Structure 1
Amino acid sequence: MVERSNWIGKALVFPRSLLPEIKSRPEFRQTGVYVLLGPRDEGEGDAIYVGEGDPVLPRLENHFANKDFWTRAAFFVTTGTGLNKAQVQYLESRLITLAHEAKRVRLENRTQPTLPTLHEADLADMDVFLGNMLQIMPLIGISAFERPKRPTRRKRHRLFCSGKGIQAEGYESSEGFVVIEGSQAMAETAPSMEHRVGGYFDLRAELIESGVLLEQGPALRFAQDYSFKSPSAAASVVLGRAANGRTEWADEKGRTLRAIQEAAVGG
């Protein structure tokens, strides 16, 4: 359970396997908004599903029986007077919108709920509640609702990956590897990519479909910063083939990421 001082909300985070054991807790009988998380059924990366329940338990039990992808969940309720149905519908809709805009994970929701009409005071309260939720999310391992925060040029080690007529720029992050907006990627993939690194092939196709990668002349362009799980995932998507990120990414002096990492640990 996660709480914050001076906030009426709290988060309950649990692995899927524990739901039958902990569902008797009083929080499960409250009205709330929840997030299901797990690996994508196909391809590389994670998937999420956002929902609301009044109370949350029946919805979570239904997903326990009928949704296979999720391995853990988090839900948010209040410590005092409970949230009402319209309030959690508002939070659900806002979270889905934020996940769509961030484009960091696959969103399993098939529809975009309409924002309910809230009184001005309710609206202000829910925006504050949502702000607290978003501050807690990274602490419980959820990064689906915000774009990567780019360090200043002085604080990040700029790395480059080049192919035929294209160049991408990125940097290592605590979550993996970020390719920055404006970077280029190969327009076509190697014939062997789907067979050798099918997960990266599927991820690349999804980034094109979602608008993270846009056609620009003979190449593709990153329309936003995008966080990959690893340097190799980033390099493979950029180059359109199986690639070792530790040797494909290099700094302005030509030192590969592998050499930089080995030097950092005295290798």
Structure 2
Amino acid sequence: MTIHPQTIQIFLPSGDPQGIREATLITRTIRTIEIPRSRLDTFLRMSESSQVGIYFLFGENDQTGQPRAYIGQTGNLGTRLKQHNEKKDFWNRAIVALSLTHSLTVAHAHFLEWLAIKKTTEAERYELDNQTLGTYPHTPAPMEAECREIFETIDTLLTTLGFPLFAPPIKTTHIFSEPTENIYSIEEKDLSNTFYCRTNGVDGQARYTEEGLVILKGSFGRLQPCDGFSRHNTGYVAKRQALIDQGILKPDADRLVFTKDMVFKSPSPAAVFLLGRAANGWTEWKDAQGRTLADVMKRNENSKDRNE
């Protein structure tokens, strides 16, 4: 997605910020409509429901809490969403993308669906509920160029609405080196804003972003939690096992290795996953100078002022 100043208009047809929301870039002809599952009947009565378009279903994995999505295209958005309402359980919100000028064709929608699935798979941010990833559809060069411009608009609107489907969890480039003599390593090209959680059997590296703490692929923690921790933290144990089952965490000898970048909304669960014990992430994560995340983010400034 190209970053530059843009003006986005969000319209609330019912006036309810939690209801249906329509978003447009004022200079583009693509509109997205966000539909809570509970308001699907309202969308089905809208004229836009009969249009050609691409659509996205959003929810989460019940076991791990990881965000989940399904991507599709159709010649009739209302009919397809009604089918998914009957057959798919995981989703709670849908977003449809359509043309204000009714210029999208099924050929456009096929290419956009393929490209959206491809970009989502590469970003590794959402679990995809799609059973197949599809194949590149033969598309004339002028239409493909048009579709890629449309896709950029959809990307911007989805992200603005809170669904950064195509964005990797972290934008900086890092390289995960495959194990040599059972040692994993991460080569950072940019060490600014990097935090570390390191102790015996633990080597975690992370970046603090707008969405939370992102543990970098290749970080590893303890395979076995500390004595007593598992018995009193069954939710943590279940979530960790689910991530192992999905291959996000890979057991290796006496350690658990992150096979992909993973976002934690709070730094404490990120530290707990690595250390296998109760932990305060604000103090466990430290930068290259040894400053805690709390100090870097100036969380302690007020308390220091009160003590002086």
With structure 1 as the length reference, what TM-score do the two structures score? 0.84
Is 1:204–2:230 an aligned residue pair?
Answer: no
Cα distance change on mapping 1:120 and 1:251 into 2, 3 Å: closer
Q: Which has the higher strand share?
A: 2
Q: Aligned AA for 1:176?
A: G
Is 1:10–2:49 an aligned residue pair?
Answer: no
**How big is the shift at 1:220?**
5.3
Higher relative contact order (CA 8 A, sep 6+): 1
Return the alpha-carbon distance in structure 2 between the equivalents of residues 240 and 100 of structure 1: 30
Return the alpha-carbon distance in structure 2 between the equivalents of residues 240 and 75 of structure 1: 41
Structure 2's unaligned 5+ residue stretches are 1-21, 174-189
What is residue 229 of structure 1 aligned with on the other side?
A: 265
The answer to whether the 8 A contact 1:137-1:143 is kept is yes
Residue of 179, 185, 194 corresponding to 2:220: 185
Q: Aligned AA for 1:47?
A: R
The answer to whether the 8 A contact 1:9-1:78 is kept is yes
What is residue 169 of structure 1 aligned with on the other side?
A: 205
Is 1:84–2:121 an aligned residue pair?
Answer: no
What is residue 171 of structure 2 aligned with on the other side?
A: 149
What SS is found at the alignment partner of 1:82?
A: coil
**How big is the shift at 1:265?**
4.6
Is 1:250–2:271 an aligned residue pair?
Answer: no
What is residue 117 of structure 1 aligned with on the other side?
A: 138
Residue of 54, 60, 67 corresponding to 1:46: 67
Residue of 137, 148, 155 corresponding to 1:134: 155
**How big is the shift at 1:26?**
1.6
What SS is found at the alignment partner of 1:42?
A: coil
Bigger radius of gyration among the two: 2
**How big is the shift at 1:195?**
2.5
Q: Aligned AA for 1:263?
A: N
Return the alpha-carbon distance in structure 1 between the equivalents of residues 279 and 131 of structure 2: 33
Is 1:263–2:304 an aligned residue pair?
Answer: no
Q: Aligned AA for 1:30?
A: Q
The answer to whether the 8 A contact 1:185-1:237 is kept is no
User: What is the CA RMSD across the aligned residues, in angstroms?
Assistant: 2.8
What is residue 234 of structure 2 aligned with on the other side?
A: 195
Return the alpha-carbon distance in structure 2 between the equivalents of residues 44 and 185 of structure 1: 21
**How big is the shift at 1:240?**
4.7
The answer to whether the 8 A contact 1:44-1:202 is kept is no
**How big is the shift at 1:99?**
1.4
Structure 1's unaligned 5+ residue stretches are none
What SS is found at the alignment partner of 1:71?
A: strand
The answer to whether the 8 A contact 1:15-1:73 is kept is yes
What is residue 7 of structure 2 aligned with on the other side?
A: none
What SS is found at the alignment partner of 1:94?
A: helix
Moved over 6 A (4+): 214-218
What is residue 57 of structure 1 aligned with on the other side?
A: 78
The answer to whether the 8 A contact 2:71-2:116 is kept is yes
**How big is the shift at 1:262?**
3.0
What SS is found at the alignment partner of 2:286?
A: coil
Return the alpha-carbon distance in structure 2 between the equivalents of residues 163 and 241 of structure 1: 13
With structure 2 as the length reference, what TM-score do the two structures score? 0.74
